Amino acid sequence: MSMKNPQVTIIIPTFNHGHFIAEAINSVLKQTYPHYQIIVIDDGSTDNTADIVAQFGDAVHYHWQENQGLSAARNTGLSLATGDLINFLDADDWHFPQFLENLLNHLTTHPHLDGVACGYRFATEFDQPLAQSSSHTVPSVQLHTKLLAGNFIAAQCFLLKRHLFISDTRFDTHLTACEDWDMWLRLSRYHHIAVIPDILTQVRVRLDSMSGNQMRMLVNRFAVIQKYYPNPQTEPAPRAYAFAYFRTAIEYLQSRQMPQALQCLRVALRFYPPLAQDPELYYELACSDQSRGNRGHLQNWDPTQAQEYLFSTLETLGLTSPQNQTYAYWTLGKLSHQTGAKQNTRHFCQQALITKPVTPISLPLLKLYARTFLPK
């Protein structure tokens, strides 16, 4: 790939998203990096998508096909792409103006990389930013292992060199969800792809999105894991299966389906008992009443209610050891600190220290406790 003004092909698959797609296309047209090709793959829309895209004239290459699903639409886009690099942008999401420029700069300064991905933030259907965002720093040598715990990167975050998509490297059309996770696992297993923390794109949270169907997501997560680790007893399969259940439990929590969430957590802990020492478990339970896109929005967070639910859930799950309680109190202390409630932060840190300090968190716990005595 020529690193001097390489062309980027941005593939936008769409199905009946005429009310969103103009914003997605405009977000590409506003890029500070000018060398790109936009391909819209209309997967059998019956709304006004074609008319909306036609308004952009030659700026967009439009291709219609019979409805075949998201994977097939992305694959068609790959067959039509001519750029040096590939990006997949869903029709209901959009990029910030510096998306291409910043990711290309990272690829230029790290020539060994085959691709790079960025962070993202959530927004409502009506374009209002939500509190939750996703920002990670992951070296390429760690990405595959990190992804085994679940997909934490939105599809449009990736900028990938086109040579990765050889003739047989296509999205799996048998998957009805998680097809992007499957692709990232496959590519990260053999190629160098890094994740940078810059938040450069936005994901729209919609009630009718595929991620809202928890059982379908779980079934497809199993299908993906089985492609790489068919024996659930062979490492790292138990961890991967556990986190498949854990991610599904989070989705049930976000939709207030608590019994289903608890059942998934029980199975996850049976597959992988060390999950009980994962701070994310305690964080998700302490924020159990917050919907997708609002995780970490603590303006109306009630520490008393969070404590009651967190400890009652731990008891239900059989996680009542002093170590488990320490993690719980530490989590409540961190969340209280984020709200600016110094007294609550100090109280929860004291409870964690009294219960039983856990070696991995002893130092950060003591630091957080000490900060409660400092001037604001």
- What are 309-327's pLDDT values in tens digits? 999 999 999 999 999 999 9
Distance CA 325, CA 327 (A): 5
Is the confidence at residue 205, as pLDDT, over 70?
yes
pLDDT of residue 128: 87
- Going by C-alpha positions, the residue among 317, 337, 300 that lies closest to residue 262 is 317
Whether 118 and 157 have beta carbons less than 8 Å apart is answered as: yes
Question: And the tokens for 265?
Answer: 């957590």
Band of residue 295 on the pLDDT scale cut at 50, 70, 90: confident
Q: How many helices (H) and strands (E) does the chain have?
A: 14, 9
CB 53 within 8 A of CB 21: yes
pTM, whole model, 2 decimals? 0.90
Please, are residues 320 and 295 in contact by the beta-carbon 8 Å criterion? no
Q: What integer best gives the mean pLDDT of the chain?
A: 93
Taking residues 101-112, report their average pLDDT: 96
Q: What is the residue-wise DSSP string for 65-79? A: E----HHHHHHHHHH
Give DSSP secondary structure letters for 253-290.
Answer: HHTT-HHHHHHHHHHHHHH-GGGGG-HHHHHHHHTTTP
**pLDDT attached to residue 208:** 57
In what helix (H) or strand (E) does residue 218 lie, and over which residues does it extend?
Answer: helix 214-228
